[in-house]
Chains A and B, each alone.
Chain A
Amino acid sequence: MPDLLHLMLALAIIAPLLAVPAIGVRVLLADRFPGEDVAYRLSAAGLLLSTLASVVVFGFFAGAFGEPVRGEIEFGRWLQIHDYEIPLVLLVDRVSVTISLFAVLLTVVVARFSRTYLHKEPGFVRFFVLLAFFATGTQLVALAGALELFFAGWEVLGISSAMFIGFFHERDEPVRSSVRAFGTYRFADAGLLIATVVTFELLGSARFSALGRAGTLPAAESTLIALLFLLSAMGKSAQLPFSGWLPRAMEGPTPSSALFYGAVSIHAGLFLLLRVWPVLEVSPVARAAGVVVGLATAVYAALVVRVHTDAKGALAHATLAQVGLIVVEICLGWITLALVHLVCHALLRLGQYLRAPSLIHDSHRFGHAHHRPSLLERAAPRLAVRAYAASLHRLRLDDRIDQAFSPALTVARAIDRIDRRLRSALSLDGPS
């Protein structure tokens, strides 16, 4: 039944997004925002439809409807210019159906949670619109069969993530943090974009299935592609040196933090690595680099957790430490372990994030823990102070990145100043 399969795959991706035009039409017609119930029901309906479709797709994969379905499912062409062709192709395999089902289920839980949590919040409708974008982005990432489509999903994911961080845009700090995350994504995503183009050039196609031919490429070329993929994954999963944006991403409402930085979005980089594994496999250099980065991040995050006093920041770094470990697992080739680790970890963190405001209550229940001085503190107190300072300041990663980009920032500021002068010169404050 290829038709049903096509329909279900398409629904899994598109259904959440259907809520957006539905809400938009209502806004246009009624000239005001729809009520909470309407917005929630529309987006929940989209999410449930997507869940249902994902379950059916999983059924196809598991063989519930005859022969188990594996491999690429064609939807035609996205774009064709002369010989260049960008296919619309989805992929049904173990990883894609698992992640697709898993991500949409978590989104449904978070949507239900947020319905109560965001009640009466002025940004209620915006929240659910963004959630719909996010769900579509994850489904696209999970099910894409070629890098171009994957990249599209990847970008939707990135933008919705940045928008959630800046959700409370009437304050400065969320906006600053949002811009930082967005900037990091932009930089790292360039890796994915270049890798896509290079893959296309070298292998003649950017389908994941074509990546298997990466072994036939010269070592330098396959390593270049692999490193570019790694760069992109590092940005999305906040690996060193891009870790600075993650703690700052805790500016959004609690459930969005839980979904993005506890459960789904933070693991997207890992998913990319799993997807492009054939390329990584033939590039020992990239894998070694991945192991180093993952280990360094894990150690860094584990150290930072020790000094973190706030609930969400500590959770963010605890999550980061595990993500670093999973990067190592992938780069060592332990794919199944990595996949299980990823899913179990996301499940654990989701609950922990959602319960983050209970910290005070729990500490009353448990009483205070008395920390004994660690080995380091007893053996080398001065070193311990240094380690504390480095962890507290998170190695001043943000400062260092700012410094690296300061020439660009200077230019940007100059342009901004000119722009402001122009605007104030041109703006009409009414007759004065």
Chain B
Amino acid sequence: MSGHAAPGSDAGPVERALARAANVLPDQGPIGVFVHHNTLHAYQHQPFHDGVQAGARDLGARPYLSLGEFRAAWRSGRIEDRDVWEEIDRALAGRADGWQLRGLERRQLWHTLLVSDCDPEDAAGLAFTVEFGRAPQCADLPLWHAALARVTRGPRPQPIDERTFRRHRDVLVALDGDDSDVPVHAELIRLGSGFLDHGHARVALPSRERGFLPAVSELYANGGPEPRACAGVAADMRALAHESADAVAVIHRALGQLGVHGADVEPFVFATALALPGWSGMFSRLERHPHEHVCDRPPTLAEFIAVRLLLERRAVGQVCSGLHLPIVWPELRRHIPPPPVRPAILDAALLWPIARSAGWSPAAVADLTDADLDTLWRECAACPPLMRRRLFHEAYERTYRRWILDAVAARRALPPDGSTERPRAQFVFCIDEREESIRRSIEEQHPLYLTFGVAGFFGIAMDYRGLYDREAAAYCPVVVTPAHEVHERAVATELNWHDLRLRLRDRWHDWERRAAAASRTLSGGAGLSFLLGPFSAVKTLAQVLAPRRLSALGDQVKSRVAPRPATRLSALRPAGGAAAAVDAGHGAAAAKPVGFSLDEAADRVTSTLRNIGLVRDFAPIVVVLGHGSTSLNNPHESAHDCGACGGRRGGANARLFADMANRPDVREAVRQRGVDIPSDVWFVGALHDTADDGVSYYELEALPASHATCFQEAHAALEAARRENALERSRRFDDARLDERSEEALKHVQSRSTLLAQPRPEYGHCTNAVCIVGRRSVTRGLHLDRRAFLVSYDPTTDPDDSVIERILAAVGPVGAGISLEYYFSSVDNETFGCGTKLPHNVTGLIGVMNGHQSDLRTGLPLQMVEIHEPMRLLLIVEATPAALLRVASRQPEVAELVVNAWVQLVSLDPATGAMQEFVDGRFVPYVPEPTLLPVVDRSPEWHLRSRAHLTPALVRRALPAAAVGHDRQPGHEPAGALGA
């Protein structure tokens, strides 16, 4: 799906640069639908480390956490020292020996370079802290003075010049000139947002349907004033408006005026396109996905760059002439100032920890010969800061990987579950790692409560239109295009009421919209101030002071005064009735059938059940739960919804699945396909709200009387579980009490989701780290701290690997997308993420800016990633290496992720439990260390101890019957009783 495809060989350097930039620029569409993806998707064809380093270089970002963060993790034990050594040995691979300086070996040197603060950048700050006794160097001042004296005598290490000069502006800023990007960006942002506006402004950019370049030149040609810093651009634009040149030609001309020729062109245009990445990216995204734009003619990146260069040329010219510099690029580059001299104190800061770890005395340091010092510097240069971070990153992952794999091995050592008793209830959740805790909590209540995980669209790809939706939207992973529509319709007896309610609702919304728009006009603003000002104040006051009560009251009033009519889904269409079901009004050939045929429904039900291995031993009640998230005042709302449903709420899919699976005719067809669902089994669809931990059920009125008791039991289990879940989530929120009772925790999360002022209604996928594909028996009873995607898969029912292939093809890219988006947004939140939410300003309904005008901010906000540990997804699959290799050979996208190590793959042999890591292109056995996992009776005992990340523990009550016995009543006493 990405456009690695290089443009034709005849394409010029400008086209090549633009095509490359289009790949690299943020690929986030209008923010209304937020889909997680690998931020550096364009680099995925390279091995992970090469890719992130290249991407970070191009975008001016940080590829890994900073050394300071890694060292803090090392000191706290999050990175274990043995893993650091292991990574150093792996990197040195045979080069460990062969160099030695007065007892200091290469391994030891590298270790020192990694773990000691040997690379400060702030010389003045260091001098100050040493002076005032606050620096670590004060621990051995004689050595420090010796080091300082020694390095001052030389030789000095070759400093790394990390400055980049890609465009005129870089040179001008380095020469203390005005930043020409400031006026250029201000102008571009205004023009671009007027052009791309999706309906916030009353008036859009005139003649925007003709494209960006013509519209802008038209604007200036009609007397639009030019910015002072770009004087002359209006005349250029006027000339353009008359000749209607094409964008690439305009770019060429501007390049000529800037003196950029020949081999300079491609890198220059590439850097120019990346200079305002959010806006450039939006132009490029809409160029490639024209249906996401409101205008018929899609914007193009080339036009954006053309306008940019027109402005930039004038701005740069003005600054250059002010500083008496040439504008011609190669000549300007000759004026690049030399890099600042590296102060000796920084070299001393490097020498000091080395001397300490080697045990050199001050005298020994003073005795170092010039040759000694020279080789030492050269050895240090072999492990530069970027390399140190890379090694640290690997160690960071390795430590965590060992913890998880050892825990899985320890769990496997427990006696297997031989129970043949019929399960009491089964719960099917999304694979989402946020559901790990609620599943565990259900399982703690009874050994015969079973849970499953499957991608949250439950195998049903559809365009769904809810009762009040204006149009259908795709409820399935973004890579799938649904072939069916499903509508929610009011039941016949409530049609009149539905009509009335719909009309009232539309009128109300219309009124609200008009009021919002009118309040911005002159007369409307005045009138509404008098009319609504006081009411608005009361409402704001209530929303700030008592959000939860106000929202509950609102819901209550609404359901009393205007209850939602009962509805049904148009799940199945009459046999052969595809054409009849299509509305005559739409009539087009592209119209999709509404509802599934019997066979299609049976196929979907069968394949989903097979995927999760639920093909026998059905409980009398099976609850299928989609998930979504409710929050207020949150432009990133959609990022919390179900990724498998294309950034929407998965309730409709769960409901539809249950609806289909309950139909006798579908069941019969499913039976013919080999899955026998007994007639005494009932499916219930439900929606779990991951923000307020509410669970709502669908079509309970259809529940057979015979199942009332079973359902009540399942319902009670979920009621208890959602409270426990709220409690477990609350421990992560610093503003919730750690010793809360579950009832209060539920209230706490409810008020989070109803509070206008809340920038973190939930932590979303934050902290996600692992994905385990396999039977629940692999993980049941393990406390995985809401960090594991859990995908149900039964290798014993999949002889030909077709199921695992299906699962990995879907879960691999989705899980990797989520994990990598979180990875990048947390290693460099300002560049890859969108920074703190607090000054965000929604613009044009397509994205957010910082404050009054800035680049469009893409990626995740700080408040969503602040407790994340950036690691590649650890994908543990219960399948043999041979099976995994077969799957990879058939699924190139999965293979790319695995081979280039954008995920860490581990094979877990279904029969023996042997584990093999996929490292450097092949499977290597992993020998788990015998570990004694901490054992607790119930999860809160483990997680209520701290707010930090947790290592795995065993939860006794969640273990299957074989381990704990099953002669107990379902349910459990409230968590508050734990203290005893």
Residues of A bordering B, CB below 8 Å: 109, 112-121, 167-168, 171-174, 176-177, 247-255, 298-299, 302, 305-315, 317-318, 321-322, 325, 340-341, 343-348, 350-352, 354-369, 371, 374, 377, 381-382, 384-386, 388-390, 392-393, 395-396, 399, 402-403, 417, 420, 427-432
Contacts and interface: CB of A to CB of B under 8 A. Distances in A.
Interface stretch (B57-65, B402-410, B839-847, B915-923): B839-847
Interface stretch (B668-676, B722-730, B850-858, B894-902): B850-858
User: Which among A173, A371, A399, A430 has the greatest number of chain B C-beta atoms within 10 A?
Assistant: A430
Interface stretch (B496-504, B539-547, B940-948): B539-547
B838 A117 contact: yes
B839 A344 contact: no
B190 A393 contact: yes
Given A116-B758, A309-B193, A367-B509, 9 more contacts: A171-B850, A177-B852, A306-B203, A312-B841, A359-B845, A363-B198, A364-B32, A392-B219, A395-B225
Given A121-B838, A359-B635, A396-B227, A310 B193 contact: yes
11 contacts: A173-B853, A247-B852, A249-B852, A307-B202, A344-B530, A350-B536, A363-B32, A386-B222, A403-B228, A428-B127, A432-B344
Contact of A119 (B220, B341, B735): B735
B194 to A, nearest CB: 6
Nearest to B222: A385
A341 B526 contact: yes
A171 B857 CA distance: 14
Contacts of A361: 632-635, 637
Contact of B838 (A118, A306, A363): A118
Contacts of A348: 519, 528-529, 532-533, 536-537
Contact of A117 (B342, B517, B757): B757
B228 A399 contact: yes
B851 A177 contact: yes
B194 A366 contact: no
A356 B839 CA distance: 11
A417 B632 CA distance: 48
B337 interface: no
Contacts of A252: 839, 851
Contacts of A429: 123-124, 127, 343, 345
B637 A396 contact: no
Contact of B224 (A250, A315, A352, A386): A386
A430 B536 contact: no
B225 A396 contact: yes
B594 to A, nearest CB: 22
Contacts of A369: 199, 513, 517
A76 to B, nearest CB: 37
A384 B757 CA distance: 40
Contacts, number: 297
Contacts of B520: 305, 314-315, 317-318
Contact of A310 (B294, B519, B539, B844): B844
A432 B341 contact: yes
Nearest to A311: B842
Given A360-B31, A385-B219, A389-B219, A365 B852 contact: no
B566 interface: no
B537 A351 contact: yes
Most buried by B among A177, A252, A306, A360: A360
A298 B522 CA distance: 7
A390 to B, nearest CB: 7
B634 A340 contact: no
A325 B536 contact: no
Interface of A is mostly: helix
Given A348-B532, A357-B634, A388-B219, A396 B228 contact: yes
A89 to B, nearest CB: 32
Contact of A430 (B127, B206, B843): B127
Contacts of B203: 306-307, 371, 374, 377, 388
Given A306-B203, A386-B223, A113 B533 contact: no
Interface residues on B, range: 35 or more
Nearest to A252: B839
B914 interface: no
Contacts of A113: 544, 756-757
Interface in B550-597: none
B734 A119 contact: yes
Contacts of A351: 536-537, 539-540
Contacts of A250: 839, 841, 851-852
Contacts of A346: 533
A368 B199 contact: yes
Interface string B182-204: 10000000110110111111110
A108 to B, nearest CB: 10
B29 interface: no
Contacts of A313: 841, 852-853
A354 B220 CA distance: 36
B170 interface: no
Contacts of A356: 841-842
Contacts of A381: 206
B315 interface: no
Contacts of A389: 219-220, 222-225
A253 B512 CA distance: 26
Nearest to B547: A116
A385 B218 contact: yes
B522 A321 contact: yes
Nearest to B294: A368
Contacts of A321: 521-522, 525
Contacts of A174: 839, 851
B19 interface: no
Contacts of A366: 509-510, 512-513
Contacts of A402: 228
B756 A354 contact: yes
Contacts of B842: 310-311, 356-357, 359-360
B11 interface: no
A350 B541 CA distance: 10
Residue from the set A251, A381, A392, A396 with the largest chain B CB neighbour count within 10 Å: A392
Interface string B101-143: 0000000000000000000000110110000000000000000
A135 B760 CA distance: 28
Contact of A305 (B202, B513, B735): B202
Given A177-B852, A325-B526, A431-B148, A417 B176 contact: yes
A302 B853 CA distance: 20
A248 B841 CA distance: 12
Nearest to B192: A309
Given A385-B206, A385-B218, A393 B224 contact: yes
B781 interface: no
A177 B540 CA distance: 29
A255 B758 CA distance: 12
B351 interface: no
A408 to B, nearest CB: 16
A251 B850 contact: yes
Contacts of B197: 309
Contacts of B516: 362
Instruction: Enumerate the 9 nearest inter-chain pairs by beta-carbon distance, A residue then B residue, closest first.
Output: A389-B224, A344-B533, A251-B851, A430-B345, A347-B537, A310-B843, A318-B520, A351-B540, A306-B202
B152 interface: yes
Contacts of A112: 544-545, 757
Contacts of A359: 200, 635, 842, 845
A323 B841 CA distance: 22
A309 B843 contact: yes
A348 to B, nearest CB: 4
A379 B376 CA distance: 79
A234 B500 CA distance: 51
Contact of A431 (B343, B470, B545, B755): B343
Given A248-B852, A310-B843, A311-B841, A358 B206 contact: no
B18 to A, nearest CB: 25
